[in-house]
Amino acid sequence: MRLAHKLILALVIGLTLVQAANAYYRVHRELEAFDADMKQDHQVLGRILARSVTAVWERFGQAGAMSILANATPTTGILLVRWIDEPELHRRVPRNDRVFTDVPISVAGEFKGYIEISESRHFQQVYVRTTLIRSLVLTFLAVASTGVISFVIGVWFVGKPIEKLVDKARRIGGGDVEGPLVIRQRDEIGVLATEMNAMCARLAEARSALDAETTELLRTQDQLRHADRLATVGKLASGMAHELGTPLGVALMRANMIASNPAVGRDVRDAARIVGEQIDRITHIVRQLLDFARGSAVSSTRGLPWREPANLLAVAQRSAVMLQPLAAKRGVTIEVISVENPPEPPANEEQIEQVLVNLLVNAIHASQGAAKVSIHLGATEMRPPADVTPVVWGGSAEPQYAVISVKDEGVGIPPEVLPRIFEPFFTTKGIGEGTGLGLSVAYGMVREHGGWIEVKSEAGKGSCFSVYLPMEFSELV
Amino acid sequence: MDANDRLPRVVIAEDDDEMRAVLDELVSGLGVEVALAASGSELVKLLTDDQRVDLIVTDVRMPWMTGYNVALSARNSGLTIPVIIVTAFPDDVLAAQVEKLGSAVLLAKPFRPEELLSLVRARLAPSQAPPDLQP
């Protein structure tokens, strides 16, 4: 049974009881008044009759008096008058249908008997019946109208808001805390709605805090996974570099010994020199691998001053010249575009050149046909992305960065590959075309400078790798 | 014949045959006497011989005992012979250990012949100089 219905039922029962009590007391009072009136009438009639009967009795005797009494009795039967000369008849049991009044008659000081006046309660009973019926009808009408009104009011002020509250509670249970409950009532239901809204607000707050924490946790997990992968790769790389060290050393020294041996022919010495140079290159790569494996702990350039401003334009031009042959072979042209005053951030030129070369090689590999690869030099002021280890910068709200972008018109990077491109040994190139270390080495170097690499790519239109280098030197935190 | 008159004696410890051979050739080219060891234990044997040793060139990773451990034992036994420690994996820990060793230097593999030779020459110079100066 719904609350509104219960309330209505209670109201109706209450109202009925009140009506019933009211009708009962009214009837009772009216009846009493009726009886009192009747008695009073009987007294008056009794006194008149007594006077006449006494006078006639004194003058004409009992028979005359009795005939007067007989004549005085009305014929309707409602009012009856008779003579009682036996006193015991006077002590009768009260009756419901008639009202009796006895008037004692004394003649010349001697008690003769009673004049009994009795009147039917017929009219009274009719009146009670009418009153009861009227009361019943009135009660029914009152109950019906009250029922209708309270039903409407109950539905409007209780049923509907409660329904809303229930719906809201269900939604909260289902996890939906959005959309506040609008109940414009200044009663308990209104208070409940307000409290429910406040609870939802707190839930939403708690949930968003939880969401933020979860996101942070996932990000940390991701970083940990990445770090873990890097550590594994690092071990692999260092193991490899370690094993390569000795044979490379032997080969390098042998080549150098031949190259500096005057006893052999010039062409042999030249060949040995070239072998030595090539081993130098391998050595360089191995060293890099080792550097990468150890992070920035022991870098081949460790201790070299980074506080010196790097001539980025010269670095860009050198990289372009270096890769000219590779580009030409594929019909790609490289151009360097710079702002008027190219930024000179504190950086290790050798490392930045390495980064640029790696990016350029990728750009050239991605290009098809007579495409263009461009290096753009510029500067910007911005906040570093959240995942970049914060660099301590002095004062200014948005630190300055030098930006070197390498843009190509190549095939672009598919979105599903994009998040992985900085992973070590991740490559989309064929075997022999790349180790998959180039970008991760580049990223590591740029991070060591307190910067980062941003990638924008559109399939079929090309990619743009932007290297951000802080203009203010700072130690990595 | 005075002890100073004889050639400086360099001990080369390296487990890789090819590496040992090329080191031997290179260092011998300086006109010094070279003794070879193919493991940590052989190096220990050479050091505990009666013969004098002027310089140790040793690899770190070797069978039986690492070059560093041999050098450390030598220091602990009071031997102050200069040491060139060759390694393919020069990490911070090793660098610190070598520095603590005293008159020792770390050389990362792979290296150019000149790098090694200049280090050897520098280490031998003090003992080489007296014979040259003597009448």
The 10s digit of each residue's pLDDT in A279-290 is 887 877 777 676
**Arithmetic mean of pLDDT over chain B:** 80
A114 CB burial (10 A radius; 0-12, 13-18, 19+): buried
- What pLDDT, on the 0 to 100 scale, is given for residue A209? 92
Q: Are B7 and B32 in contact (CB under 8 A)?
A: yes
A249, A294, A298 ranked by CB distance to B110: nearest = A249
Helix axes A188-259, B113-133, angle to 10 degrees: 50
Count of CB atoms situated within 10 Å of the CB of B77: 9
Q: Which residue is closest to A238 within chain B, CA to CA?
A: B89
CA atoms of A417 and A406, how far apart (whole Å):
19
Does B113 sit within 8 Å of A249, measured CB to CB? no
B66-72: long-range pairs with CB below 8 Å, 24+: B66/B40, B67/B13, B67/B40, B67/B43, B68/B94, B68/B97, B68/B98, B68/B101, B69/B40, B70/B13, B70/B40, B70/B43, B70/B44, B71/B101, B71/B104, B72/B97, B72/B101
Question: In A31-109, where do the E strands start and end?
Answer: 79-84, 98-107
A238, A248, A297 ranked by CB distance to B110: nearest = A248
**Two tokens at A253?**
């020294």
Phi, psi at residue A394, to the nearest 5°?
-90, 110
List of chain A residues with pLDDT < 70: 1, 4, 75, 87-91, 227, 230-231, 288, 290-307, 386-397, 424-437, 473-477
Residue given tokens 């290790």 in the structure block: A348
Distance (Å) from the C-alpha of residue B88 to the closest C-alpha of chain A? Answer: 5
Distance (Å) from the C-alpha of residue B112 to the closest C-alpha of chain A? Answer: 6
* H/E element, A290: helix A266-293
Q: Are A455 and A449 in contact (CB under 8 A)?
A: no
- What pLDDT, on the 0 to 100 scale, is given for residue A406? 93
Q: Are A56 and A68 in contact (CB under 8 A)?
A: yes
**Positive or negative, the Cα torsion across A436, A439, A442, A446?**
negative
Does B90 sit within 8 Å of A298, measured CB to CB? yes
**pLDDT 10s digits, A382-420:** 877 766 655 554 555 677 889 999 999 888 888 888 777
Q: What mean pLDDT comes out for the span B83-105?
A: 81
Look up the ipTM and state it. Answer: 0.72
